[in-house]
Chain A
Amino acid sequence: MSDLVSKRTAGAAAALTVVWIVVGLLAPDSWPGVLLSIAASPNTHTATLRLAVPIALAAIGGIFAEKSGVINIGIEGLLIVSGFSSIVATYWLGSGSTTLGLSNHWWGLVVGVLISVLFALLFAVVCIEFKADQIIAGLAVWLIALGLAPFVSRIVFGSPNATTMGTFKPVTVPVLSEIPILGYLLFDTPPQVYLMLFGAVAGWYLLFRTSFGRWVVASGENPKALDTAGVDVRKVRYAAVLLSGVFAGLGGAGFALGQLGTFAGGGQTDIAGRGFIAIATYLLANYHPIGALLGSFLFAGLNSMQNGLQAAGYAIPTELIRTIPYATVIVVLVFVGRTRLPEAAGEDYESGED
């Protein structure tokens, strides 16, 4: 039954796309035409890739945590702390110069990831050791990050917003970057995009090809089965949550250093809900790392097209665009319904209970 619905939905979406492209080509000045030219523009594509970085990496991290049975809705907070701390570290070391032969931007990335892992560890201890409610603990991580970033920012920069500094330079791969389309997309792009692409493949490999990946899945579906098979469920869950810290850290720091060059700590911060969009993304992708990467393109693409539309004089409110990921998830869950939460997600596990 759900197959039929998903076929119908897919069919309808394809038909709409065809209509849009036909109308867009016939009437380039109508709004479908403008939309089409924005969607076809290389600027939109490169912006999409860069905007996808925090969403995709945080989503992949979230997949590992949730697959292991620990729902980490704190990844929004992890993006904030890693993004902010990477900027602070780079600022302290001196933007533009190097330390121990490594550019200070890269040191910033390392610090961002470490801080993110530290927060993930805190979250893991609270959830796994002290069996706190995962949702509440995750909210706490987010709220702490939301308060801590502007607070530290005031101390360091005297304002909730950090000083602006340079971003990562695009790395151009010789020869390969000459390939049409793929060249400028994949081989002439800043390092955080390479990290994202590599991270998605690595996440996929880790989850589906290694024994650790299988333990993560078993830990989230039936921890007792894993325990009786002689694997320590606690260790697996710790590893998975810390891994979510690594991925989210790469996402947050990569976004701050490669895209923003600064970090606004006020309000919703520069992360502005991307961690929550990441959660929506991996649910949409049914916990598949590559699917999460593609899903992040969808949401980042909407974001960059909205920027393009604004430039073309069609001002669609950001707030409206931001609702799209969540609305999509609801639509997908209702009509396709193939996202299946891990059986033991959200439940703590203690060995030896009979």
Chain B
Amino acid sequence: MSDSGAGTTDGTGPKTGVDAGTADRKSTGSDLAVHLDGITKRFPGVVANDDVDLRVERGTVHALLGENGAGKTTLMNVLYGLYEPEEGRVVVDGEDRSFGSPRDAIDAGIGMIHQHFMLVDPMTVAENIALGNEPTKWFGMAVDRERIDREIRDLCDRYGFDVDPDATIEDVSVGVQQRVEILKALFRGAEVLILDEPTAVLTPQEVEGLYEVLEELTDQGKTIIFITHKLEEATHAADAITVLRDGKSVGTVDPGGTSRKELAERMVGREVLLEAESEPAEAGDVVLSADDVTVRDARDIEVVSEIDLDVRAGEILGIAGVDGNGQAELVEAITGLETPDEGTITYDGTDITEWSRRQRIEQGMAYIPEDRHERGLVMPFDLVENGVLGSQRSPRFATSGRIDWPGVRDHTEEIIETYDVRPPDADADAQSLSGGNQQKFIVGREFERDPSLVVATHPTRGVDIGSTEFIHERLLDLRREGVAILLVSSNLEEVQALSDRLAVIYEGEFIDVTTPEDVTEEELGLLMAGQRPDQRDAAGSVGGDDR
């Protein structure tokens, strides 16, 4: 690791950007760790980056903000040597560079932490950190494990990480895995760290931990570029924000001198409603009801305990809760992926507890699954094939057992256009789309099924704000049309903004059922943490003050 560290200082020394102050930070621009100058990168049929400039100062956190498909990741892949740009210069530490492979970028002191971690699950933390860069002894005959351990310990001490080098990757939490990725980059002597959507997989507590890590790293002179589509993150953690839209840079701003709304408009290119407006519901008949539903897991532990719920036509019932409190199993029981151990599920007045998926779909149940890779799409299929999934027997697309492919294609192209799926190519494999675009496509397919009941789990997870707004509007449209909607989300803002009634699930039980107007975000947080409403009233004054 030492050889790559030497090349990065280049005489300027560890002068940090902190002393420059917030106001004139842009104008000084003397100590740039990374300067991307007029980068253009084309793919067949798309210009992913169009003459993009990016100036990142040493010792700062620089956010790269943009919607799905705006070209953020492409730009960073150029910097990391995965893509070669058609035009433009990559300047690192004042030197023109041309990276043919990640190896070159690593040697120039650039490290990348990918959204999907590049870790080998059955290997240990230490083995992963050193992978591909193992120091050796005895003329390369053996890995110098003592040295690896020592260097990892040094790095942990220096940056305040608490990571056990001997733990196996598959046994540690996602938050720790991310730290291992950061350590991996530091171990290779990285001075500039690129983090691609680093918070997508983290719990709120882990996100706080990550912010602390970023601060510690920049305090010690490291430079961070992080890719995000979440406004709060950019404004919260970054010293400067560069916004990308449709492959072009639309300027770099100071997070202190801009509002969230302004940023959102820059990002989307038009005015956006950060919160969906919903008029009072006109609820009709009960469409779905669950009665004393109990689900046990493989180890025979109750994960859903005697839950009752009703969803009426034209109503959104929100279920809020920390992931892993039984909402997934409840949804599986309702959608027919699992048969409940006890209780009944009624749909349009019929007992459907024992019905198959096929019967439920035919009855008009749409389902947006939690895991889009596992259950939402067949990854190697193209969008046309994915577009007909679930409707392959419906008379709309199939006659006497044969699928009407031209009809399906038209339908798919409609979904792609309406839901703004990018790239707009019906022949693209599902796996070639980014996560947000996959999600948009699934949402489109399910909403356009003409359902009478929608079960939506985390419908906007990983989706940018422009599309989130659109999905929310469509949900409200469906509600207006009299569709019953069951919305499961761990995003508090989302469930609060959309739901007509709100149930909080904790350890397999509804701990409270309320309406969004009657509960604050703090109270919701406490409910989700398992504090019952009666207890809350007793200890209530703390939560009340914040209103």
Task: Please indicate the chain B residues that have their CB under 8 angstroms from the CB of A218 in the complex.
Answer: 120, 123, 131
Whole-angstrom distance between the Cβ of B113 and the nearest chain A Cβ? 10
Interface string of A209-247 (1 = CB under 8 A from B): 111001101100110111111110000000000000000
B270-310 contact mask (Cβ, 8 Å, vs A): 1 or 0: 00000000000000000000000000000000000000000
Q: In the complex, which residue of chain B has the Cβ closest to the Cβ of A221?
A: B120
B261 within 8 A of A: no
From B118, B121, B142, give the contact of A229 (CB < 8 A).
Answer: B118
The chain A residue with its CB closest to the CB of B74 is: A354
Chain B residues numbered 208-229 whose CB sits less than 8 Å from any CB in chain A: none
**Judging by beta carbons under 8 Å apart, are B142 and A209 in contact?**
yes
Q: A228-B118, A230-B103 are in contact. Are A217 and B123 (CB under 8 A)?
A: yes
Would A214 and B131 count as touching, CB distance under 8 A?
yes
Q: Cα distance A211–B131 when bound, in Å?
A: 8
A133 at the interface (CB under 8 A from B): no
CB distance from A144 to the nearest CB of B (A): 31
Residues of chain B lying within 8 A (CB to CB) of residue A211? 134, 136, 140, 143
Evaluate contact between A222 and B143: CB separation under 8 angstroms. no
Q: Is the CB of B82 within 8 A of A222?
A: no
Contact check, B114 vs A221: say whether CB atoms are below 8 A apart. Answer: no
Taking CB as reference atom, which chain B residue is nearest A218? Answer: B120
Q: Are A222 and B132 neighbours in the complex by a CB distance under 8 Å?
A: no
CB–CB A228/B122 < 8 A: no
B90-127 interface bits toward A, Cβ cutoff 8 Å, 1 = contact, 0 = none: 00000000000111001000001010001111110001
A209 touches B131 (CB 8 A): no
B46 contacts partner chain A, Cβ-Cβ < 8 Å: no
Bound CA–CA A217/B131 (angstroms): 10
A45 to chain B, nearest CB (A): 33
Q: A209-B142, A230-B102 are in contact. Are A222 and B119 (CB under 8 A)?
A: yes
From B121, B136, B184, A221 is in contact (CB under 8 Å) with: B121
- Which partner residue on chain B sits nearest A222 by CB separation? B120
Give the contacts of B482-531 with A (CB-CB under 8 A). none
Q: How many of B's residues come within 8 Å of A, CB to CB?
A: 27
| Contact A343 to B121, CB < 8 A, known contacts A209-B143, A228-B102, A230-B106 | yes
CB-nearest residue of chain B relative to A342? B122
Q: B122 touching A230 by the CB < 8 A rule? A: no
- Which residues of B are found within 8 Å of A343, using beta-carbon distances? 121
| List of B residues within 8 angstroms of A217 by Cβ | 120, 122-123
A101 within 8 A of B: no
A36 to chain B, nearest CB (A): 41
Please indicate the chain B residues that have their CB under 8 angstroms from the CB of A225 in the complex.
118-120, 128, 131
> How close is A211's CB to chain B, nearest CB, in angstroms?
4
Contact status A352-B120, CB under 8 Å: no
How far, in angstroms, from A228 to B111 measured CA to CA in the complex? 10
CB distance from A114 to the nearest CB of B (A): 25
Q: Which residues of B contact A340 (CB under 8 A)?
A: 122
B538 CB–A CB distance under 8 Å? no
Contact status A226-B132, CB under 8 Å: yes
Instruction: Determine which residue in B82, B131, B142 has the highest number of CB atoms from chain A within 10 A of its CB, and name it.
Output: B131
Contact yes or no, A224 B106, CB < 8 A: no
Give the residue among B106, B118, B121, B132 with the most A Cβ atoms within 10 A.
Answer: B132
B356 at the interface (CB under 8 A from A): no
Contact B132 A229 (CB under 8 A): yes
Contact present for A221 and B118 (CB under 8 Å)? no
B121 touches A210 (CB 8 A): no
- A222 contacts B103, C-beta separation under 8 Å: no
B134: A residues at CB distance < 8 A: 211, 214
Supposing A210-B143, A211-B143 touch, asked if A229 and B133 sit within 8 A by C-beta, the answer is yes
Bound together, the chains give a CA A352 to CA B131 distance in angstroms of: 19
User: A160-178 CB contact bits vs B (8 Å, 1 = yes)?
Assistant: 0000000000000000000
- Give chain A residues whose Cβ lies under 8 Å from the Cβ of B131: 214-215, 218, 225-226, 229, 231
Taken together as a complex, chains A and B put the C-alpha atoms of A222 and B112 apart, in Å, by: 17
> Which of A209, A230, A352, A354 touches B133 (beta carbons < 8 Å)?
A230
Q: Does B141 contact A (CB under 8 A)?
A: yes
Residues of B within 8 A of A210 (CB): 136, 140-143
Minimum CB–CB distance for B123 against chain A, Å:
6
Near A by CB (< 8 A), chain B positions 115-164 give 118-123, 127-128, 130-134, 136, 140-143
Residues of A within 8 A of B143 (CB): 209-211, 214
Closest to B119 in A: A225
Query: Which residues of the partner chain B approach A229 to less than 8 Å between Cβ atoms?
Result: 118, 131-133, 184
- For B133, list chain A residues within 8 Å (CB): 229-230
The residues of A that contact B128 with a CB separation of less than 8 Å are 225
Which chain B positions have C-beta within 8 A of A215? 131-132
Expressed in whole angstroms, the minimum distance between the Cβ of B74 and any Cβ of chain A is: 9
Contacts of A354 in B (CB 8 A): 77, 82
State in angstroms the CA–CA spacing of A222 and B181 once bound together.
Answer: 14
Rounded to whole Å, the gap between the CB of A147 and the closest CB of chain B is: 36
Instruction: Point out the residues of chain A lying under 8 angstroms from B132, CB to CB.
Output: 215, 226, 229-231
For residue A204, give the distance in angstroms from its CB to the closest CB of chain B. Answer: 13
The complex places the Cα of A226 from the Cα of B102 at a distance, in Å, of: 11
Per the bound structure, the CA–CA distance linking A231 and B140 in Å amounts to 16
Contact flag A228-B112 (CB < 8 Å), given A209-B142, A209-B143: yes
Q: Are A214 and B103 in contact (CB under 8 A)?
A: no
List of A residues within 8 angstroms of B101 by Cβ: 230
Query: What residues on A are CB-neighbors of B142 within 8 Å?
Result: 209-210
Judging by beta carbons under 8 Å apart, are B118 and A224 in contact?
yes
In the complex, residue of chain A having the shortest beta-carbon distance to the beta carbon of B135: A211
Contact assessment for A222 and B118 in the assembled complex, using a CB-CB cutoff below 8 Å: yes
In the complex, which residues of chain A have a beta carbon less than 8 angstroms from the beta carbon of B103?
A: 230
Per-position 1/0 for B45-78, Cβ under 8 A of A = 0000000000000000000000000000000010
Q: Give bound CA distance, A224 to B131, whole Å.
A: 12
CB-CB < 8 A to B112: which residues of A?
228
How far apart are the CA atoms of A214 and B140 in the complex, in Å? Answer: 13
A269-310 interface (Cβ within 8 A of B):
none
Q: Closest CB-CB distance, B168 to chain A, in whole Å?
A: 12
A217 to B134, CA, bound (A): 14
Chain A residues with Cβ below 8 Å from B120 are: 217-218, 221-222, 225-226
List, in ascending order, chain A residues with CB within 8 A of B82's CB: 352, 354
Interface hits, A176-229 → B, CB 8 Å: 209-211, 214-215, 217-218, 221-222, 224-229
Binding site for B on A (CB under 8 A): 209-211, 214-215, 217-218, 221-222, 224-231, 340, 343, 352, 354
Supply 4 further A-B pairs (C-beta < 8 A) apart from A215-B132, A225-B119, A225-B128. Answer: A214-B123, A221-B122, A228-B118, A229-B133
The 8 lowest CB-CB distance pairs between A and B, nearest first, are: A229-B132, A211-B134, A225-B118, A230-B103, A231-B132, A221-B120, A228-B118, A229-B131
Q: List 21 A-B contacts (CB under 8 A).
A: A210-B142, A210-B143, A211-B134, A211-B136, A211-B140, A214-B143, A217-B120, A217-B122, A217-B123, A218-B120, A218-B131, A222-B118, A222-B121, A225-B118, A225-B120, A226-B132, A228-B112, A229-B132, A230-B106, A352-B82, A354-B77
Residues of B bordering A, CB below 8 Å: 77, 82, 101-103, 106, 112, 114, 118-123, 127-128, 130-134, 136, 140-143, 184
